[in-house]
Copies of this chain bind each other. A is one copy, B any other.
């Protein structure tokens, strides 16, 4: 019989005790301990109590790796985001991780940095760690890697970029509705010349918002003539700043602008003030997302709230449906938005 040398020097990671010692202590087999831990109804209540007693006494807890290996389930939920540094994501991560935790899952977060190579890496890590399900909350996705996940029957949930299918869910955000509400809000305030600070064109959600904006204006009989009224703000503060400056330089500058996200709107706020104009007296500004900061800009930003915590929770629910409930089909919950009126919008007055 071979023994792993029982080192005198404590090796890193230390030595934890195993199910066997609990078994010995409780005078049962390891199988029974395992059952007791999993609250298997077949074990005698008294026996179970004895086992739990031993567990507590020994301060034992299971080795998840052994468990994963034997059971084939890792109890890890993957979450892939674009950039945790973008204020949109932390709440998403938090909400997801929390929901996961409640169901006994740890969350493995990966950031793609909007980069294809890192996206592959992220998915690779999910595969390696054998994530039981993966939420992909980014738009840059690598089809072949996704296929790999699909092949291995890993449930997935996307944010607005996929069709639901077997083990694949999709959260559908009703951007059009959000944009519509915002535009109608501006129109009802008397604005007629409304500009749009769009997001990156390769972002589907950004395209959807822009299209919705255009359509909405057109429906209201306010179709845009000057194409320069729609300009790219890149979904970032500096981009929004530059884009707004472009709008301000127009002969007929807008009396109100809608931004594709809050960061852009914040940049716009600054550009307007830098130009010596006031918000909302001279120009009204509406954002999109309602990041925490939006309530604290100057003036506080009127914006369309995208409920990130709800998105996170729904996303996990979709996965849990497949992971824990044994369903094989995907779903497509719709995520609503809500206009939050603060102080960056006001009635038009010439």
Nearest CB of B to A20, in Å = 15
A sample of 11 cross-chain residue pairs with beta-carbon separation below 8 angstroms, ordered by A number, consists of A12-B154, A12-B167, A13-B72, A13-B152, A61-B127, A65-B69, A87-B87, A94-B111, A101-B121, A109-B109, A269-B298
Contact B64 A129 (CB under 8 A): yes
Known: A152-B13, A270-B298, A296-B237. A130 touches B61 (CB 8 A): no
Cα distance, A151 to B298, chains bound together (Å)? 51
Sorting the interface of chain A by its residue count into under 10, 10 to 19, 20 to 34 or 35 or more gives: 35 or more
Which A81-99 residues have C-beta < 8 A from chain B?
A: 84-85, 87, 89-91, 93-94, 97
In the complex, which of the residues B106, B129, B237 contacts A125, with contact meaning CB atoms closer than 8 Å? B106
Cα distance, A128 to B61, chains bound together (Å)? 7
Contact A85 B266 (CB under 8 A): no
In the complex, which of the residues B64, B90, B322 contacts A128, with contact meaning CB atoms closer than 8 Å? B64
Using A106-B129, A108-B108 as known contacts, list a sample of 12 further A-B pairs with CB atoms less than 8 Å apart, ordered by residue number in A: A12-B322, A13-B130, A14-B153, A15-B152, A84-B93, A85-B292, A93-B109, A94-B111, A97-B111, A106-B125, A266-B296, A270-B296
Residues on B with beta carbons closer than 8 Å to the beta carbon of A276: none
Residues on B with beta carbons closer than 8 Å to the beta carbon of A267: 296
The 7 closest A-B pairs by CB, nearest first: A14-B152, A65-B68, A14-B153, A65-B69, A65-B65, A237-B296, A84-B90
Identical subunits present: 2
Contact B90 A12 (CB under 8 A): no
Nearest-neighbor residue (CB-CB) of A273 within chain B = B298
Which A271-328 residues have C-beta < 8 A from chain B?
A: 273, 292-293, 296, 298, 322-323
Nearest CB of B to A268, in Å = 11
Q: Which of A11, A64, A125, A292 has the most chain B CB within a 10 Å cutoff?
A: A64
Known: A94-B111, A296-B237. A72 touches B11 (CB 8 A): yes
In the complex, which of the residues B65, B69, B293, B298 contacts A130, with contact meaning CB atoms closer than 8 Å? B65
Q: List the interface of chain A (C-beta within 8 A of B).
A: 10-16, 61-66, 68-69, 72-74, 84-85, 87, 89-91, 93-94, 97, 101, 106-109, 111, 121, 124-125, 127-130, 132, 151-155, 167, 237, 266-267, 269-270, 273, 292-293, 296, 298, 322-323
Nearest-neighbor residue (CB-CB) of A326 within chain B = B12
Cα distance, A154 to B15, chains bound together (Å)? 11
Nearest-neighbor residue (CB-CB) of A148 within chain B = B59
Residues on B with beta carbons closer than 8 Å to the beta carbon of A167: 12
Nearest CB of B to A17, in Å = 11
Nearest-neighbor residue (CB-CB) of A266 within chain B = B296
Cα distance, A267 to B170, chains bound together (Å)? 38
Contact A154 B13 (CB under 8 A): yes
In the complex, which of the residues B85, B87, B237 contacts A94, with contact meaning CB atoms closer than 8 Å? B85
Residues on B with beta carbons closer than 8 Å to the beta carbon of A101: 121
Cα distance, A321 to B322, chains bound together (Å)? 41
Residues on B with beta carbons closer than 8 Å to the beta carbon of A106: 108, 125, 129
Nearest CB of B to A240, in Å = 10
Cα distance, A293 to B74, chains bound together (Å)? 38
Cα distance, A29 to B65, chains bound together (Å)? 24
Contact A11 B266 (CB under 8 A): no
Contact B74 A65 (CB under 8 A): yes
